[in-house]
Amino acid sequence: MKDPFFFGYGSLVNRRTHDYPEAHQARVKGWRRAWRKSPLRDRCFLTVVPAADDYIDGLVAAVPDADWAALDAREHAYDRHDVSHATAHGIGRAVDVAIYAIPEGQHHDPAPDHPVVLSYIDVVVQGFLAEFGQEGVAHFFETTEGWHVPILDDRARPLYPRAQNLTEEERAQVDEGLARLSAAVKAR
């Protein structure tokens, strides 16, 4: 990849979790977000799974110095996939785009003993609200698989390493989205 970018579809949509200066809104076709459990992590995280008729919104960002090492370390449970042909963006030049996904066969459907932490969802929703507004938040909730997994309310003492402070409006967006899905939020 000579002009490498990566596609962020979860916490990387939240610009407060990184300092990638050249980041742009984008859409990738042929993928769908899903909560999955990887043996390399204790909790469920977002990944993407192939889905021919679906799309996800997110950000593309330039890989710093075209060196994948730091990103690969951050996304250590994931493999990179070339999605250059399936990505729409407003960068103004042709770029190579990769997306990170937990490898097929190396992730499992979420289960009660591997919850999603609320502080992670908070970060993702905060990013979607800032980038795509309420419609983007609604699309995130509606098109992500696996909301049957328990959600651990860790807001008072966040477990997610890149947790952010949310405004009342941002917390309300998260809470309303989870309520619409009848997601089970459990006290820590």
pLDDT on residue 102: 85
pLDDT on residue 1: 61
User: Which tops the pLDDT comparison, 74 or 181?
Assistant: 181
Q: What is the pLDDT of residues 140-170, one digit of tens each?
A: 999 999 999 889 999 999 999 999 999 999 9
Report the largest interatomic distance among the alpha carbons of the chain, rounded to a whole angstrom.
Answer: 47
Per the CB < 8 A criterion, the answer to whether 51 and 104 are in contact is no
Per the CB < 8 A criterion, the answer to whether 9 and 33 are in contact is yes
- Write down the domain spans for the chain: 4-187
C-alpha gyration radius of the chain: 16
Fold of 4-187: Hypothetical upf0131 protein ytfp (3.10.490)
Per-residue tokens: 75? 């996304």
Residue at 142: amino acid letter: E
Average pLDDT of span 47-68 = 93
On the question of pLDDT at 78 being above 90, the answer is no
The pLDDT confidence band at residue 67, using thresholds 50, 70 and 90, is: confident
pLDDT on residue 55: 96
d(CA 160, CA 138): 22
